[in-house]
């Protein structure tokens, strides 16, 4: 027979139904596992469209910044009279590329100086296709907008009479 102190200690320490000879197996039930998997699947289904939307927006921003950088570099090269020539940017929606070139037009350019940048297939480009900047002053040959579109997202790059590139 156990003493009353040991009996009370075991009740407090191990609980009412403690049996020292019984082995308890701990783990997760099938219902608990299915509940966790269901919650994870729901989170993935909800977050996937948001992630794709974010990716497309960032992709559009990257190509917009690339075209703006090429325009500004062409203007800077023209203003610094690099290679005693004008520089420009040609954007082709058909061949999915844009080219920073040396010369007074894309057709009469010096191919050795070409810097070609690829565009993705899902990007549509509209508006101005060629802009050449004059030597020293950097005034653009064409003014207007360049439109970039991916799915339902669009961005506009504007080139004004003074040669300022806004986006």
Tell me whether residue 30 is in a domain: no
Output b/e per residue, 70-86; b: 16+ Cβ within 10 A.
bbbebbebbbeeeeebb
4: in domain: no
Let me know if residue 87 belongs to a domain: yes
**Quick check: is 60 in a domain?**
yes
Give the model confidence (pLDDT) of 2-44 as tens digits: 777 776 666 666 666 656 666 667 788 999 999 999 999 999 9
> What is the CATH number for 58?
3.55.40.10
Classify residue 100: in a domain, yes or no: yes
84 assigned to some structural domain: yes
pTM for this prediction: 0.76
Distance of alpha carbon 143 from alpha carbon 34, whole angstroms = 61
Q: Please count the structural domains in the chain.
A: 1
Range of the domain at 98: 36-166
pLDDT digits (tens, 9 = 90+) for 85-137: 999 999 999 999 999 999 999 999 999 999 999 999 999 999 999 999 999 99
């Amino acid at each position: 027979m156990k003493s009353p102190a040991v009996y009370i200690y075991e009740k407090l320490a191990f609980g009412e139904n403690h049996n020292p000879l019984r082995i308890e197996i701990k783990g997760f039930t099938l219902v608990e596992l299915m509940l966790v998997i269901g919650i994870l699947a729901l989170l993935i289904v909800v977050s996937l469209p948001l992630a794709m939307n974010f990716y497309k927006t960032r992709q559009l921003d990257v190509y917009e910044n690339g075209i703006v950088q090429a325009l500004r570099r062409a203007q800077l090269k023209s203003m610094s009279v690099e290679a005693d020539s004008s520089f420009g940017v040609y954007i082709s929606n058909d061949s999915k590329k844009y080219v920073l070139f040396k010369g007074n037009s894309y057709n009469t350019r010096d191919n050795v100086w070409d810097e070609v940048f690829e565009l993705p297939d899902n990007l549509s480009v509209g508006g101005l296709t060629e802009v050449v900047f004059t030597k020293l002053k950097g005034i653009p040959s064409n003014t207007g907008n360049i439109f970039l579109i991916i799915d339902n997202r669009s961005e506009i790059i504007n080139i004004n009479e003074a040669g300022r590139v806004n986006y």
